[in-house]
Amino acid sequence: MSQYEIIEKYVPTLGKPTYLIVGLPDAGLVGVIATEYLIDKLKLKEFAEIYAPDILPPISHVQDGVAKSPIRLYHNHNIVVFHSWIAIPSSAIIPLTKIIVDVARRYGISNIISITGLPIQDRLNAEKLNAYWIANNDETAQDLQKLGLMEKFGDGYIAGPYAPLLIESHKNNLANFVIVVESFLDLPDPEASAIAINILSKYIGFNINVDELLKEAEDIRDKIKGLMEQTKQELPTYASSRPMTYA
């Protein structure tokens, strides 16, 4: 595996069960918007940065005048968030997947939850956005089926950052499922992110109000348009002729 470092400010004390929530840029930036909102509203603390110069472009994320790694870890008592502030090159997806699994094992986390978008035609006029789940094992699938928070994805395919994570986590006996919400392909979609957050809050059991996310949708789109432009350049490399998640 490519060389990388986890530079910790401290080692967090985590309760059980602990969930690793992954937000990587892809369709609609649904996962990234969701995890950034969680970091802000749940007051998650940044405790580590991930340096992987062999696989990531030479970009630092500057926050309050301080340059940091664009991939960082945040936590509260039972949630760890793996958040990327840059688009992920297709060449980096597989090694980054292995890093995510290593992070889960390092902190004793056995549950990984990813969030992504399912691009649909005429998204602008859609009155309701549907949400689906994709699991990496039968037990997780059965649990999600019983809860009824989302529909089963059924038959199709998923490409991009979350596809190999489903397989790699299964190989390492880690439960992983993806929350898939209908979305724009190449426009930031805070509305889809709000749906994913509501599902996540019911699944894990925390209270969070998404009204602010919905009210500030346009401001959010303006704020992260640069990241969307980066991601748009990478999207075609994830799946050559189809959207990244396809039923």
- Taking the C-alpha atoms of residue 189 and residue 117, their distance in angstroms, rounded to an integer, is 9
The confidence score (pLDDT) of residue 242 equals: 46
Which pLDDT does position 102 carry in this prediction? Answer: 96
Beta pairing class for 66-68 and 61-63: antiparallel
CA dist., res. 175 & res. 157, Å (int): 19
Q: What is the pLDDT of residue 212?
A: 87
Where helices occur in the chain by DSSP H, the ranges are 30-41, 93-106, 138-147, 162-171, 190-204, 211-215, 217-223, 225-238
pLDDT at 243 (0 to 100): 42
- pTM attached to this predicted model: 0.88
Q: Identify the CATH number of the domain in which residue 162 sits.
A: 3.40.50.10900
Contact, 112 vs 175, CB < 8 A?
yes
| pLDDT of the residue at 161 | 85
Residues of the chain with pLDDT under 70: 1-2, 220-225, 238-247
Nearest 5°: phi and psi at 183?
Answer: -160, 175
Tokens of 84: 């990327």
**3-class SS at 70?**
coil
For 163, other C-beta atoms within 10 Å of its C-beta total 22
Cβ–Cβ under 8 Å, residues 46 and 10: no
Residue 234, amino acid: E
Tokens of 107: 């902190």
Count other C-beta atoms under 10 Å from residue 238's C-beta. 21
With H, G, I as helix, E, B as strand and everything else as coil, classify residue 128: coil
Domain that residue 133 falls in: 5-246
Q: Compute the distance between CA of residue 115 and CA of residue 36 in angstroms, rounded to an integer.
A: 12
- Name the domain count of the chain: 1
